[in-house]
């Protein structure tokens, strides 16, 4: 039987370079990137073998960027969630955030909360946005939350994480070969795919061809096949 890409995780990289290559501001790339989020999410929602799509939208390290870019990203996120509320519902897609949301503005947290609650019963796909997310921060928060419960096990720590689901297929666009603090625990046995395509140019067709390759890989999980 071929592998099923039940949980796909994507590092959506390359928005800034894509915009700059056209002589535009980096923010233009983020706007275009948000449109690609919509189309890739819709594609995954239409394919029943995919249960979960986790997208890296803002890392715990992205606060180092210029204030104006960070402010733009926060506004874009709020605008995106407000305008996509009906798209989630129409496509039966559940929205879930991961990451430390406590740092966000009240109005952004309210929108996140509202879309999460509104889509709770949707079950075609869970789209999980990683917001102020860092794998190390997630693990540290999980360890702190578990400290009083005796010795930590792999299972107990997994259950204390923001994301309790192993990643099957992890994709990074934008040409770099690194995890940048994404899904450090969950990607332990993920298949890693890197593409030079910048995120604003990524497409459902390219995702489909990656999934096709993924299905042919022999996943051994340390055993022998």
Q: Hey, which residues does 192 pair with through a beta bridge?
A: 170
> Between 10 and 39, how does the x/- string for binding to ligand IPE read (CB under 6 A)?
-xxxxxxx----------------------
Q: What end-to-end distance do the CA atoms of the chain give, in Å?
A: 12
131 binds ligand IPE (CB under 6 A): no
The region of 8-16, 146-154, 208-216, 217-225 touching ligand IPE under the rule CB under 6 A is 8-16
Instruction: Output the 3-class SS for 153-213.
Output: CHHHHHHHCCCCCCCCEEEECCCCCCCCCCCCCCCCCCEEEECCCCHHHCCHHHHHHHHHH
- From the list ligand IPE, Mg ion, none, pick the one residue 34 interacts with, judged by a Cβ distance below 5 to 8 Å according to partner type: none
Smallest gap from residue 67 Cβ to Mg ion (A):
17
Q: Hey, which residues does 10 pair with through a beta bridge?
A: 55, 171
- From the list ligand IPE, Mg ion, none, pick the one residue 73 interacts with, judged by a Cβ distance below 5 to 8 Å according to partner type: ligand IPE
171 binds ligand IPE (CB under 6 A): no
What is the Cα–Cα distance from 103 to 106, expressed in whole angstroms? 9
What is the Cα–Cα distance from 217 to 159, expressed in whole angstroms? 28
List 174, 190, 193, 210, residue binding ligand IPE (CB under 6 A): 174
- Contacts with ligand IPE, residue ranges (CB under 6 A): 11-17, 56-59, 62, 73, 174, 176, 178, 180
């Amino acid at each position: 039987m071929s592998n099923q890409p039940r949980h796909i995780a994507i590092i959506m990289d390359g928005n800034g370079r894509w915009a700059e290559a056209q002589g535009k501001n980096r923010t233009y790339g983020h706007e275009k990137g948000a449109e690609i989020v919509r189309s890739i999410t819709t594609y995954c929602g239409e394919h029943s073998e995919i249960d979960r799509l986790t997208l890296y939208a803002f890392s715990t390290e992205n606060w180092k960027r210029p204030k104006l870019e960070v402010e733009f990203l926060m506004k874009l996120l709020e605008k995106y969630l407000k305008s996509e509320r009906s798209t989630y519902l129409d496509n039966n897609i559940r929205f879930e955030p991961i990451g430390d949301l406590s740092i966000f503005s009240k109005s952004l947290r309210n929108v996140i909360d509202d879309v999460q609650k509104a889509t709770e019963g949707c079950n075609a796909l869970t789209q999980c946005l990683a917001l102020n997310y860092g794998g190390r921060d997630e693990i540290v928060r999980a360890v702190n939350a578990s400290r009083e419960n005796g010795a930590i096990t792999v299972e107990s720590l997994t259950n204390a994480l923001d994301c309790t689901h192993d990643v099957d297929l992890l994709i990074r666009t934008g040409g770099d070969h690194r995890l940048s603090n994404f899904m450090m625990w969950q990607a332990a046995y993920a298949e890693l795919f890197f593409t030079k395509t910048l995120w604003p140019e990524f497409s459902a067709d390219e995702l489909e061809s990656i999934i096709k390759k993924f299905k042919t890989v022999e996943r051994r999980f340390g055993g022998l096949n």
